[in-house]
Amino acid sequence: MSTIFILADFVNEKATKTTFELATAAARVGDVAAVVLAPIGQGVARAATLNTSPIASIIIVENSDFQNHGVRACADAIAQLISQKSPVALLVASHAFGKELAANVAVKTNSGIITDAVDVDSNLTATQVIFGGSATVHSKVSQGISIITLRPNCITPDLTPSSATIENIALTISDSAKKATVKSSQAPVKGGRPELTEANIVVSGGRGTNGDFAAVEAFADSLGAAVGASRAATDAGWYPHSHQVGQTGKTVSPQLYVACGISGAIQHRAGMQTSKAIIVINKDAEAPIFELADFGVIGDLFAVLPAATEGVKSRKS
């Protein structure tokens, strides 16, 4: 069987759900080797969190250059591992770091790259959704190894317990991959809510909140959801920019997206149109966002949301 690399993705030293989605997609193609790039002394602990989904082997590379020199140093390590192990493909998560790593590896290995795939089949044919959700494209890499970045939350992870073999590999990062130096890093401020791109449910607020996100947050919390925002809301400073959904914000594909006081501009749709189910609350019956709604309520979000929050709480108790 052929080998396929996935780059294990960690938040707070724990493998993310996206990592297991990558493994599940990769296992359709061949034996999954999960690559763990870690600071010195942290590889084994990180690898220990890769205990589910179809991972055949784990390759641990520990090197301080990863923190000190960022994306390029990580890409240098992956390119070296690719020449050692000759995998047929590399799958990474579609976030800023994952895409830039993939871009660097593509150039270094002269391989084709497909970004923002929502699915990958056993032939390494990738599915992408383009033009703000209006078209589906299937494509395949035709040169080098297949480098594919996969959007979080698009395939159901197989969470069967696994016991992978572990291999430690020491690598020297090339000087040319160390030309940029990371002086300091500050993790994003974490609330108690799930990460936007990984959440099963996202509740978003727009200009219609008029700056008061309390009702949106309360409903999100009743569902264990992440909170998103339109650009009108982030530009006004009502909600952090990191929560913006859309063309210049994040792309989300949750099981359920709830748009509250959002009109549905094309740039907003681009970030949420592939959500499985969409609920809309808007007081303007003509708002274009209703075109996407599986369930739409024409009404005031300040009346509808608190009632819905109570309803969810009473059903859960």
Partner 1 sequence: MVDGTLDRENVDAVLNDLDEYAVEEALRIVEAHGGNEDDGPNSVTVISMGPARATDAVRKALSMGANAAILITDDALAGADALLTSEVLAKVISTEGFDLVICGTESTDARMSVVPAMISARLDWPQLTFAGSVTVDPSLSHVAISRITEAGVDLIEASFPALISVVEKINEPRYPSFKGIMAAKKRNIETRDLAAIGINAHSAWSQVIDSQLRPPRAAGIKITDDGTGGAQLVDFLAESKLI
CA within 13 Å, CB half, 207: 10
User: Minimal distance in Å, beta carbon 145 to ligand FAD?
Assistant: 32
Residue 102 touches partner 1, criterion: CB under 8 A: yes
User: Minimal distance in Å, beta carbon 272 to ligand FAD?
Assistant: 9
Structure tokens at 177: 């991959």
User: Minimal distance in Å, beta carbon 247 to ligand FAD?
Assistant: 4
The answer to whether 236 and 229 have CB atoms below 8 angstroms apart is no
Buried b (16+ CB within 10 A) or exposed e, 87-99: bbbbbbbbbeebb
Q: Of 44-52, 161-169, 204-212, 274-282, which part binds partner 1 (CB under 8 A)?
A: 274-282
What's the Rg (C-alpha) of the chain? 21
The DSSP 8-state label assigned to residue 41 in this structure reads T
User: Minimal distance in Å, beta carbon 27 to partner 1?
Assistant: 22
Please state, in angstroms and as integers, the Cα–Cα distance from residue 90 to each residue in 21, 249, 275, following that order.
13, 26, 26
Number of residues that bind partner 1 (CB under 8 A): 95
Residue 206 touches partner 1, criterion: CB under 8 A: no
Q: Of 25-33, 41-49, 81-89, 278-286, which part binds partner 1 (CB under 8 A)?
A: 278-286
Q: Which residues between 52 and 71 bind partner 1 (CB under 8 A)?
A: 70-71
For partner 1, the binding residue among 44, 49, 144, 240 (CB under 8 A) is 144
The answer to whether 62 and 70 have CB atoms below 8 angstroms apart is no
φ, ψ for residue 252, nearest 5 deg = -125, 145
Structure tokens at 175: 């000087």
For partner 1, the binding residue among 87, 133, 157, 208 (CB under 8 A) is 133
Closer of 141 and 216 to ligand FAD (Cβ): 216
- Enumerate binding residues for ligand FAD (CB under 6 A): 206-208, 230-233, 244-249, 261-263, 265, 267-268, 271, 281-284, 287, 300-302
